[in-house]
Structure formats: C-alpha cells, structure tokens
Amino acid sequence: MTLREALDRADSLHPGSVPEAERIAWLDSIDRTVCAEITGGEFGGYTVDSPADTELLVPPPYDELYLHVLEARSAYVGGEIDRYNNATALLQNLWEAYARSYIRSHRPTRRELNYLGGDRI
C-alpha cells in the first residue's frame, strides 16, 4: 500500500477533519514502530513532502493495519471511544499476525547465530 492509497482509503471509509499532515505523521509513527519492534533496520520516515507513491513498510495482507491506525487515531481525536476501541482491536490483530509472519520468515539460520564468545558457527 502506498502513502496516498492509505490516506485515500481511510478517507473513503471514514471521512474526517484531521489534516493530512497529521495523518502522514501517524503513518510515519507506526512504520517507525514497525522498524523498532519487528523488522529492525533503517527508516527514513514520511513527511508531507514524501512522494505519494511511497510504499509503506507492511506488505499485504497485513497492510490493512494502516487503515486501522488512521481510524483509531481519528476516532480518539474525535472522542469516539467505541470506534477507537474497535479500530484498536483490529489493528492489534493485524499487528500480531504480521509480527508472527515476519519472525517466522526471517529466522536466522544456525550458521548466523552468534554464541557468547562471539564466534559464528
């Protein structure tokens, strides 16, 4: 999913009055968390100047989590607690599924493991 697709799909599902710059900052925040907690590596971030066709980090079928992030944060800002709780539950389910999938498919091989002495086997 691209930056523009996430913003447009979220708008079509739940139109709101949150400025685009704020919603881009929310997407930036979730992908920084993806890097910190799941994938590791570097992340340059998103700003209002980022190209609209910038690919977000989480691939399908887990990329729907971006829509739930935008919905949850918009609902929170709007004081819609039930909607916030529902979106957060959906987000949590996709987050956990993505984390499990990523860890399963990126396990180090035995040869890549470092032991206490720092030697690779």
% of the chain beyond a pLDDT of 90? 80
DSSP code string of 6-74: HHHHHHHHS-----HHHHHHHHHHHHHHHIIIII-S------TTS-TTPBPSSPTTGGGHHHHHHHHHH
pLDDT band at 15 (very low <50, low <70, confident <90, very high): confident
The tens digit of pLDDT for each residue in 23-44 reads 999 999 999 999 999 999 899 9
Domain ranges in the chain are 3-112
